[in-house]
Amino acid sequence: MIDYSDAIKTERMGVVRDALAGGRMELLQDKFLLARIPLGNGTVEGAELSFAVSEGAAMLGGTPTAARLLDYYGRIAAEWLVVGVDVLMDDENISAGQTVRVLSCVIRHR
């Protein structure tokens, strides 16, 4: 495993932030897509990239367990984010048509 310097980690997370500009988050329960949420502006601090509060409408009801981030073109940039750890929501039990609010999303460089 490669151990990057803090400066390199910060630079790499900046590239990820730029790649996700205009992208979205998808909330999943198993293989089912529950909601799409537009990504706000990302902020890089050291080895972490965080996204602020954002909202979208749920297409299906359920309890999301995972999330993935897609770029502007719909290509997956990051997946298997854990809801409740990497992605924090105001309510993890959602119903179809409900406004879903993501409080924060954080990606950490390893």
* Domain interval for residue 89: 6-108
Res 35: pLDDT: 97
Share of the chain above pLDDT 90, in %: 90
> Does residue 1 sit within a domain?
no
Whether 63 is covered by a domain: the verdict is yes
Per the structure, how many domains does the chain have? Answer: 1
pLDDT in tens, 51-93: 988 999 999 999 999 999 999 999 999 999 999 999 999 999 9
Q: How many CA within 13 A on the CB side of residue 81?
A: 27
Whether 57 maps to a domain, the answer reads yes
For residue 88, give the amino acid letter. L
The answer for residues whose C-beta is within 8 angstroms of residue 93's C-beta and 6 or more apart is 63
Query: What pLDDT is attached to residue 44?
Result: 96
Q: Is residue 41 part of a domain?
A: yes
Q: Is 90 left (phi over 0), alpha (psi -120 to 50) or beta?
A: alpha
- Whether residue 42 lies inside any domain: the answer is yes
Altogether, the residues listed in the chain come to a count of: 110
SS3 13: helix
User: Which of 33, 69, 29 has its CA nearest to residue 49?
Assistant: 69
pLDDT exceeds cutoff 80 at 1: no
Q: In the predicted model, is pLDDT for residue 6 greater than 80?
A: yes
44 in a structural domain = yes
pTM above 0.95, yes or no: no
pLDDT band at 8 (very low <50, low <70, confident <90, very high): very high
